[in-house]
Every structure is written in C-alpha cells, then in structure tokens.
Copies of this chain bind each other. A is one copy, B any other.
Amino acid sequence: MQRTNFREMACSIARTLDVIGEPWSPLILRDVWAGVSRFDQIQADLGISRKVLTERLNHLIDQGVLERHAYDMRPRYEYRLTAKGAELVDLLMVMAGWGDKWLAGEAGPPVLYRHHACGEISGVDLRCAHCGEPMHAGDVDLLPGPGAAG
C-alpha cells in the first residue's frame, strides 16, 4: 500500500504514530499490559493474522517499546513492556477513558480501573504538569518549539 511514513515529520504526534500508529499495535500493547504476552495467546485473543502479528512485534521491539524474553529452555518467549512502552500505556488509558465515555453505551465500560493509591474505581484526568490545574485541548496555546521544522 506504499504507506507514507510519519517518522520524518516535525510533529511528536506523527512520530508517535510511526511507533504505534499501525493497526493492531495499540491492542498488542494492551494485551501485553494485561498479561496476554505470548505469541499464540495474543494471536488468539486478538484474532490477528500471524504474519501481521510477527511484523508488529518486531517493529515494537525495534522501537524499544517491547522486549522479547525467553521463559523456558525451549524456544519459548514472552513479550514485556519496556519503560518506554509502559509510558505508552498511559496513552491507552486515555483512549480507554474516551471510549468509555463516548462509545460504551448502555452496557457501560467493559473494563474498570482500580487505582492502587486510593483503592477506588477511577479514571485518568489530565492536569498541567506545572500548576496542577486541568489541562485540555482548549486550555493551551501552541507555540513553535526548538525542534520545529525550519
């Protein structure tokens, strides 16, 4: 399909999409996060083609988001999130929050999140890292940064 690649764009959103923007990649990370971490498990859970799963896993490993770990003397492997990958899961939690709010409908959210610190069922909330007040799409101005395109 000769897909355009986003890596060269001077945009952190595009670059992030170059890492996890392909179809299935976020769901693979979700599975690994949730403990579904072996090839056949992921393949069966998602219903993804084995060929594509291989490609995605290799790409995620190349990008430093997953690592491949032997769990037996036999050639058996499980996939784990790296620190870089674990921070991507924050993104998945925000996605899940949006889906819960706008797409879950009558049935309610399929998954609940219990926060260790307070023990309550909760969700993520976006705050300004500087002042701690809510920070949403309409609460910011965009300015060119040091890495902006020439």
Contact = CB atoms under 8 A, between A and B. Distances in A.
Contacts of A131: 115, 117-118, 120, 122
Contacts of A108: 145-147
A68 interface: no
Contact of A111 (B19, B98, B112, B145): B145
Copies of the protein in its oligomer = 2
A38 interface: no
A116 to B, nearest CB: 5
A125 B123 contact: no
Contacts of A149: 110
Contacts of A91: 91, 94-95, 98
Contacts of A95: 12-13, 16-17, 91
Nearest to A120: B130
21 contacts: A11-B27, A12-B110, A13-B30, A13-B95, A17-B27, A17-B95, A21-B23, A91-B91, A93-B140, A94-B94, A107-B147, A113-B143, A114-B141, A114-B143, A115-B130, A122-B128, A122-B131, A123-B129, A124-B128, A125-B128, A126-B127
